[in-house]
Amino acid sequence: MKDFINKLYRNHSLIYKGLLFIATTIFIVYLFPKSGKFKYDFEKGKPWQSENLQAPFNFAIKKTDAEIAEEKQRIKDNTPLYFDVDFEVKNKVNTDFKNQFKNAFPDSTSVSVLSNLKNIGSKVISELYSFGVLNEAYNYSAERQIVLLDGREIAKDGVFSNLIKQDQVSKIIDKNFKDDIYGSYKPYFTALFFDIIEPNVIFDKSFTEKVTEDELATISYTRGSIDKETLIISKGEVVDDETYQILKSLQIEYESQVWSKSSYILVLIAYTLLVALALLMLLLFLMKYRINVFENNTKVTFIFFNISLIVLISTMVVNYNSKYIYVVPICILPLVFKAFFDARLGLFAHVLTVLLLGFIVPNSYEYMFLQIIAGIVTILTVSELYKRANLFISVGQITLIYIIAYFAFFVIHEGSVTDLKWETFIWFILCGLATLFVQPLIYVYEKIFGLVSDVSLLELSDTNSKLLKELSNKAPGTFHHSLNVANLAEASANEIGANAMLVRVGALYHDIGKMKNPTYFTENQSTGINPHQELSNKESARVIVDHVINGIEIARKYNLPDRVIDFIRSHHGTSVVYYFYAKEKKEFEDVKKEDFSYPGPKPFSKETSILMMCDSVEAASKSLKEPTISKIEAFVENIIDKQIEEGQFLNANITFKEIQSIKKVLKSKLANIYHLRIEYPE
């Protein structure tokens, strides 16, 4: 039992990765649609690439969205408008007319004229209330069908123009006063009618909407059907509009089938295999090419978390409304991975994530093409994320790529630009703006996962920081040495394409351990007194070697990132404090080399290797007397060749060609420092 527990403990890192792998696979599969996926890809106007397709079962042909929208609009336009009518209003108006008629005209008006005017009034009232007078103006077509309701019973039907608007009353009065004989009485007549006329027709909006909804509910979303084994399309045949709709109907029917329990389990197993395969490729990539990331459980968790998060957000957007899928800023993923790791890992993870999203999104090929191209552009354009201008420029380029690619796909599908969906361009612009959120997101990730990005490195490179200020006060010689090493290392990193910001920060902090005993290091000895004279060779070597351990302790105290501490830990590798070792060998025969060696580890990256070379060359260059170009070249060659012989760079992914480039940079920089010129023969 104890052996089993010990074995578990020794392999706890691999066990954790296995559990993380399983949990991520289950989570992503849970988000996937649980139906089968139509196995054919097709596009309108393109030849059918597969074999002859026969209907696998009976299914109905779905109407297109345009057809359904047209049918709905036709129903809305043709459904009658319902109005509530009050017939008692007409009786009331007639009564008021009779009561007020005599008082409306001058007393001198003859009886015959009054009789004729009364007849005209009765005629006008009958005409006004033939259908009714509206309570307010409505903007409907004159030919729109109407129905008048008395209670809930249909009283009369007609067209909207039959109803009288209140501003039409005067026109009807004018029409009945064409005879000039009674023209002088028209103003009295009009004044009387405007006092007594009341609306009796009110639009019943709720009832009209209910009838419209009932009519809309009767719409059939299918037109015709296809019988089983009917030939739908032959190989090589162009997919026209009708065939395209039949294929879309088959696809919808296929994916919406009610699956049996056994089929459902098979679909789940198939999805699980595909997702597991994709995630396994990512783990194998890390194991093969990014072993330092693979061995760090926090970093592996971070990668899997981000992939799961992108899949989750995309799924939620598709479930809400798939037309917003391009608003999801997928390109944040390669940006984040590039900020914390490198471009190659960022692109690899991005491509795998997009492949997984292909199971969720509509038009998966188009979506994957756009997102992979955008991811490549992201990786190629964003070089220094800590520079805000670079991020804005890159986001603009990414948005432009989206727009160009979408435009090309639309033209391929439709064959024209007349029906181009301009609103999709708005989604791309919003996606670009959302990508700018990567800056605060990186800060949040740094705090949660304890990672460090180039943005944090930029802050650490500030020589006014508390720790570097302390170094300059306690060990000014070491601080000056660190600045020189930082300049040399940055130039070397730029030459071979390494992370210049990282190596510069590592160089600034690599000797902070010397603050504990600054006078034991020659660059800080300004009084001419050497405290090593009072120590044995072993003790002196131990003080020198301990500046690495002390540096790590100080770095931990000031919460420096592990990526920076790696430079402190490895900048001397397993080299020997040669001065005291040689001195000891002169005095004693039996000398252990381990007593004068640094504990290591050896440099394990291009950046840590650069620091070792630059640190050794810069420190030793102070001992050069009357330096010349030839002396500096020989001096640089000797120091770096000795490090190669000792195997200091065996664990680093640095090539001989890159080392030669670094030598060239160091020779040039040292020559500039000493203001040397090329030696011409006399």
Which of 399, 414, 449 is where one domain is finished?
449
Helix (H) or strand (E) holding 226: strand 222-226
pLDDT at 663: 94
Q: Is residue 183 part of a domain?
A: yes
Residues 440 and 458 in one domain: no
**Closest alpha carbon to 405 in 380, 376, 384:** 376
- Tens-place pLDDT, residues 608-639: 999 999 999 998 888 777 778 888 888 899 99
Which of 449, 474, 495 is where one domain is finished?
449
The pLDDT of 152-175, averaged and rounded, is: 80
Q: Is residue 390 part of a domain?
A: yes
pLDDT at 532: 82
Residues 642 and 664 in one domain: yes
Residues 410 and 485 in one domain: no
Residues 529 and 644 in one domain: yes
Task: Give residue 367's domain range.
Answer: 2-34+261-449
Q: How far apart are CA 507 and CA 511, in angstroms?
A: 8
Asked if pLDDT for residue 500 goes beyond 60, the answer is: yes
Query: How far from each other are the two terminal CA atoms of the chain, in whole angstroms?
Result: 83
Q: Is residue 242 part of a domain?
A: no
pTM for the full predicted model: 0.62
Residues 464 and 333 in one domain: no
The pLDDT of 641-664, averaged and rounded, is: 92
Q: Is residue 417 part of a domain?
A: yes
Residues 443 and 483 in one domain: no
Residues 467 and 598 in one domain: yes
Q: Indicate the SS3 state at residue 321.
A: coil
Assign 3-state DSSP to the chain and report helix, strand, coil percentages, each to 5: 65, 5, 30
Asked if pLDDT for residue 572 goes beyond 60, the answer is: yes
pLDDT at 261: 58
- Tens-place pLDDT, residues 501-537: 899 999 999 999 999 989 888 888 776 677 887 888 8
Residues 459 and 420 in one domain: no
Helix (H) or strand (E) holding 649: none
Q: How far apart are CA 489 and CA 615, in angstroms?
A: 8
Q: Is residue 348 part of a domain?
A: yes
pLDDT at 99: 82
The pLDDT of 12-30, averaged and rounded, is: 91
Residues 436 and 520 in one domain: no
Mean pLDDT of the chain: 84
Residues 94 and 211 in one domain: yes
Task: Report CA-CA distances (Å) from 556 to 505, 512, 563, 568, 674.
Answer: 15, 12, 12, 11, 37
In DSSP terms, 468 is beta-bridged to none
Asked if pLDDT for residue 68 goes beyond 90, the answer is: no
Q: How far apart are CA 132 and CA 85, in angstroms?
A: 7
Q: Is residue 224 part of a domain?
A: no
- Tens-place pLDDT, residues 273-298: 999 999 999 999 999 988 878 988 99
pLDDT at 262: 61
Q: How far apart are CA 616 and CA 239, in angstroms?
A: 71
Number of folded domains in the chain?
3
The pLDDT of 334-348, averaged and rounded, is: 88
DSSP at 520: G
The least confident of 323-337, 372-386, 630-644 is 372-386
* Cα dihedral: 503, 508, 512, 518 (round 10): 130
pLDDT at 481: 92
How many residues make up the chain in this entry?
A: 682
Q: Is residue 240 part of a domain?
A: no
| Omega before 334 within 30 of 0, i.e. cis | no
pLDDT at 679: 53
Which stretch, 276-285, 317-326, 422-431, 575-584, has highest mean pLDDT? 276-285
pLDDT at 27: 94
pLDDT band for position 322 (cuts 50, 70, 90): confident
Q: Is residue 56 part of a domain?
A: no
Residues 163 and 292 in one domain: no
CATH number, residue 525: 1.10.3210
Which of 434, 449, 464 is where one domain is finished?
449
Residues 588 and 655 in one domain: yes
Cβ(211)–Cβ(82) under 8 Å?
yes
